[in-house]
């Protein structure tokens, strides 16, 4: 990883942790375990890829870094809630996440359900509030776009497809569509949000959309490769789970070598979409290059 990228990641992680810390101060009543479990889930750990993407994309349009950070925080709240629910016994049944016990292991299932529900509500409270952007048109567009990316036409829809996946034909088109919803929609919104914050009209967002599309797929293929090649210490969660579950992944469909080549191609394509931008897009280029590195 470049020093520049490493220092950007560290700075975003510090900011996100500090803001969650402030928002999730436990109250002096019996909601305390709920807040503590929300803190367990939201603070410390994770690459904070989505806030980093909002921040990096926002530099293309001279967006106030504070606005970008608040949008990144809201997206991260949605991402974290989806991990907490995804880890539940009825879903992927995972014991470890980001190197810590999952929320239902550290607390209990009911708490984990409520932690996810509460974090989703918090995300919309953050993104809709005046501190996120002075223009209410911008805030409303952020709210509806985040809701669409998170809901049944986006992330939740992709998770539902994933639940149905073992019974599906092992088909690259279906796996691609599933991943475009499950992880792609929120990654795409992270980049699109910068254009919304910068009041870039819809027709001016094509290159950025192309970048997000290719980056999202590259990221997912790299994730599938890590599930096969990585170890639990480095990834902070159990590995080899997709294969054990008989799930079709990019690696099971393409094999390791072709999957790696495809991820590299997509990463280069993502960077290609940025050719019209100058040094202000360097951080986005670094992110795309890093996404497919084996050691990430």
Q: Which residues bind its own copies (CB under 8 A)?
A: 27, 29-31, 33-35, 38, 81-82, 85, 88, 90-91, 108-111, 113-114, 116-118, 120-122, 124-125, 128-130, 136-137, 139-140, 143-144, 146-148, 150-152, 154, 156-157, 159-161, 163-165, 168, 174, 177-178
Q: Helices in the chain by DSSP H: which ranges?
A: 3-23, 32-42, 49-58, 65-86, 103-106, 109-128, 136-150, 155-164, 172-179, 185-197, 206-229, 232-235, 241-244, 250-254, 256-272, 282-291
Tell me how far apart the alpha carbons of residues 218 and 210 are, in angstroms, rounded to a whole number: 12
Q: Which is nearer to its own copies, 49 or 165 (CB)?
A: 165
- The token pair at 10 is 């560290």
Q: Which is nearer to its own copies, 151 or 272 (CB)?
A: 151
Question: Nearest approach, Cβ of 108 to its own copies (angstroms)?
Answer: 7
Looking up tokens 């504070």 gives: 66
Least distance in Å: CB of 135 to its own copies?
A: 8
Please name the residues in contact with 250: beta carbons below 8 A apart, sequence gap of 6 or more. Answer: 172, 175, 179, 220, 221, 224, 259, 262
Q: How far is the CB of 134 from its own copies (least distance, A)?
A: 11
Nearer Cβ to its own copies, position 85 or 213? 85
Closer of 248 and 287 to its own copies (Cβ): 248
| CB closer to its own copies out of 124 and 277 | 124
């Amino acid at each position: 990883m470049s020093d520049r990228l490493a220092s950007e990641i560290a700075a975003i992680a510090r900011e996100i942790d500090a803001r969650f810390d402030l928002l999730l101060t436990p109250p002096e009543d019996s909601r305390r375990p709920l807040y503590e479990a929300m803190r367990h889930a939201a603070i410390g750990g994770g690459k904070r890829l989505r806030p980093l993407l909002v921040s990096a994309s926002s530099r293309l349009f001279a967006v106030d870094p504070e606005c970008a950070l608040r949008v990144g925080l809201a997206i991260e709240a949605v991402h974290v809630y989806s991990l907490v629910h995804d880890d539940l016994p009825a879903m992927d049944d995972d014991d470890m996440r980001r190197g810590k016990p999952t929320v239902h292991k550290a607390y209990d299932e009911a708490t984990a359900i409520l932690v996810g529900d509460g974090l989703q509500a918090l995300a919309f409270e953050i993104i809709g509030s005046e501190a996120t952007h002075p223009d209410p048109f911008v805030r409303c567009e952020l709210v509806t776009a985040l809701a669409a990316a998170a809901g049944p036409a986006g992330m939740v829809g992709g998770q539902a497809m994933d639940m149905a996946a073992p019974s599906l034909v092992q088909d690259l088109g279906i796996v691609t569509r599933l991943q475009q919803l499950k992880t792609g929609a929120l990654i795409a919104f992270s980049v699109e949000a910068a254009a919304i914050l910068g009041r870039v009209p819809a027709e001016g967002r094509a290159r950025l959309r192309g970048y997000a599309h290719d980056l999202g797929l590259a990221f997912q293929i790299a994730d599938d490769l890590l599930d096969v090649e990585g170890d639990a210490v480095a990834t902070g969660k159990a590995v080899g789970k997709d294969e054990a579950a008989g799930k079709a992944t990019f690696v099971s469909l393409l094999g390791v070598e072709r999957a790696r080549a495809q991820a590299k191609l997509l990463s280069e394509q993502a960077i290609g979409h940025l050719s019209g931008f100058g040094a202000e897009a360097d951080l986005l280029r670094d992110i795309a290059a890093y996404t497919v590195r084996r050691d990430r």
